[in-house]
Amino acid sequence: MGNVCTLSAVELCQALRKGEVSSRALTRAYLERIDALEPKLQAFLTLTPDLALQQADLADQVLFEWRKDTARLLPPLTGLPIVIKDLLCQRGVRTTCGSRILENFIPPYSATAVQRLLDAGVVTLGKTNTDEFAMGSSTENSAYQITRNPWNLTRVPGGSSGGSAAAVASAMAPLALGTDTGGSVRQPAAFCGVTGLKPTYGRVPRYGLIAYGSSLDSVGVLARSAADAAMLFQHMAGYDPLDASAMDVPVPRYSLQDKRDMRGLRIGVPEQYFITGIQHEVEQAVRNAITAMQGLGAEVVEISLPHTKYALPVYYLIAPAEASANLARYDGVRFGLRVDDPNMTALTRKSRGAGFGPEVKRRIMLGTYALSAGYYDAYYGQAQKVRTLIKQDFEKAFEQVDVIAAPVTPSTAFKIGEHNEDPLAMYLEDVFTLPANLAGVPGLAFPVGFDGEGLPIGMQLMGRHFDEQTLLQAAHTYQLFTDWHTRRPEF
């Protein structure tokens, strides 16, 4: 079959079913590629080759039995390798969140999203690098290592799901799980030239996802194409009684059609997303993609999302406030890192001081301040009111259009270390992705070109609540006519 690592996830599933490749051979091919490329990219925090081969052997047995009797029930993803962002628990596998405070944490259970995929038959290759507790836009905030962009090793892969994006872009895995609190699936997808889906808030259960911002966190997918993303997403979505925020909404079958046009689709283009300072090549590539969709029959409508300019300050009040509350559980007593001291207060202070990195400490302090007596109404309370206005902007827009098209990032991937001394510049990298999280709407990022230095450019489509189907179908149709998503970095 040639180099199986270059095949799409959809093609791999078909090949596994037909017996054209075994799961063990496929898993070994990916593990060998990881061995070759990981020293350069540093995309993984934990590799699980022994577990992966055990899962692959079991998958091959299931496939063998199914081929003898195709009336048997075959889990739909049997034998397909994936990787998991190290923010999602997998039973018996170290889960660090990119933090020293959880350096030796081995969860006794799996996240619902992970368990559903295991039940569907996947093989898990390992856990990918992330900004500590998902707090970052470059994967430079990991306590362990800096992941590099496969297209240019001097550039960041984006964050916080940078390890997952780099793994998929470099063909070390066909699919990856990520999380998106303010753009952490879509931004690295854009920087690494892959497709990234952030579902509607509540569409994929958060149980077993180690929390950053509980009203913002979403479990998402990184893939090579919309078709691959839809296939994995199908088996993650749905209600879960273990998660109070999981919505009991029917999950449709995400069957993407090879449509040759986009007639009937109304695309909204918000003026607020094409701002002064955006890299010219990014704006031009996104506008070219919108024009291409228009050429396929879509109707393009100019719209306004007037409260977009408040999304950045609103997010950086709400998310740190929720992080301050969520990270209070790491006290050096119940689990995680402990720096012993006979004084209880000192034990907690020293454990947190040694276990948390600078960015996590910064956001805890911001959030604690925003929630403190005398400031709650002025900061956190006011931010929640403006968040409602941002959500209403989207609701009004979706009365006119089916999807909203915009850039994912103001620029292509920046250099490692470029924003280290300027946290605000780093926060501005998410200016186009934050609104979707605040409104809870789904967003899909996918490649639409390259800049003059050969770095990928991404565009995002945002849609109505629980209408991931329209986003995936639109991107799939676009990808039938373009090859941006098929291009791979050379090593």
Over the stretch 277-328, which tens digit does the pLDDT of each residue have? 999 999 999 999 999 999 999 999 999 999 999 999 999 999 999 999 999 9
Over the stretch 342-376, which tens digit does the pLDDT of each residue have? 999 999 999 999 999 999 999 999 999 999 989 99
Can you give the pTM of this predicted structure?
0.97
How many other C-beta atoms can be found within 10 angstroms of the C-beta atom of residue 96?
Answer: 24
Over the stretch 174-191, which tens digit does the pLDDT of each residue have? 999 999 999 999 999 999
In the predicted model, is pLDDT for residue 408 greater than 70? yes
- The whole-angstrom separation of Cα 136 and Cα 158 is 8
- The whole-angstrom separation of Cα 226 and Cα 259 is 13
- The whole-angstrom separation of Cα 298 and Cα 483 is 20
Q: Can you spell out the DSSP letters for 59-70? A: HHHHHHHHHH-T
- Reading the block at residue 241, the tokens are 């009684």
Q: 479 and 260 in contact (C-beta within 8 Å)? A: no
Task: Report residue 404: phi and psi, to 5°.
Answer: -120, 130
- The whole-angstrom separation of Cα 484 and Cα 425 is 28
User: Could you give the angle at which helices 382-397 and 311-326 cross, rounded to 10 degrees?
Assistant: 120
Cis peptide upstream of residue 170 (ω within 30 degrees of 0): no
pLDDT of residue 34: 98
Length of the chain measured in residues: 491
Q: Can you spell out the DSSP letters for 276-310? A: TTS-HHHHHHHHHHHHHHHHTT-EEEEE--TTGGG
Q: Can you spell out the DSSP letters for 324-357? A: HHHGGG-SSSSSS-----SSHHHHHHHHHHHHS-
- Reading the block at residue 415, the tokens are 């250099």
Segment 464-480 shows an average pLDDT of: 98
With CA atoms as reference, report the closest residue to 7 among 58, 76, 81: 81
List the Cα angle 59/62/64 in 5-degree steps. 110
pLDDT of residue 2: 65
Amino acid at 487: R
Strand extents, DSSP E, 110-225 = 123-128, 175-180, 195-198, 218-223
pLDDT of residue 335: 86
Helix (H) or strand (E) segment spanning residue 269: strand 266-270
What Cα–Cα distance (Å) separates residue 198 from each residue in 191, 258, 433, 446? 16, 23, 10, 12
Grouping H, G, I as helix, E, B as strand and the rest as coil, residue 197 is strand
**pLDDT-based confidence at residue 396 (cuts at 50, 70, 90):** very high
- Reading the block at residue 43, the tokens are 């995309």
Over the stretch 212-234, which tens digit does the pLDDT of each residue have? 999 999 999 999 999 999 999 99
Going by the DSSP 8-state scheme, the letter that residue 20 receives in this structure is S
Region of 219 (left: φ > 0; alpha: ψ -120 to 50; beta: rest) is: beta
In the predicted model, is pLDDT for residue 269 greater than 80? yes
The two beta strands, 81-85 and 175-180, are parallel
Strand order in the sheet with 403-407: 44-47, 123-128, 81-85, 175-180, 218-223, 195-198, 443-450, 456-463, 403-407, 266-270, 299-303
pLDDT of residue 274: 95
pLDDT of residue 334: 86
Please give the distance of CA 22 from its chain centroid, rounded to a whole number.
29
- The whole-angstrom separation of Cα 107 and Cα 478 is 41
- The whole-angstrom separation of Cα 3 and Cα 350 is 50
Given the structure tokens 């002064």, which residue do they identify? Answer: 276
Region of 447 (left: φ > 0; alpha: ψ -120 to 50; beta: rest) is: beta
Domains and CATH numbers, the chain: 4-263+440-486 (3.90.1300.10)
With CA atoms as reference, report the closest residue to 183 among 172, 191, 173: 191
Over the stretch 57-84, which tens digit does the pLDDT of each residue have? 999 999 999 999 988 999 999 999 999 9
In the predicted model, is pLDDT for residue 451 greater than 90? yes
Q: Where would I find the H helices in 216-295?
A: 226-234, 280-295
83: β partners:
176
Region of 143 (left: φ > 0; alpha: ψ -120 to 50; beta: rest) is: alpha
pLDDT of residue 491: 67
Segment 439-457 shows an average pLDDT of: 98
pLDDT of residue 1: 60
In the predicted model, is pLDDT for residue 196 greater than 80? yes
Catalytically annotated residues: 85, 160, 184
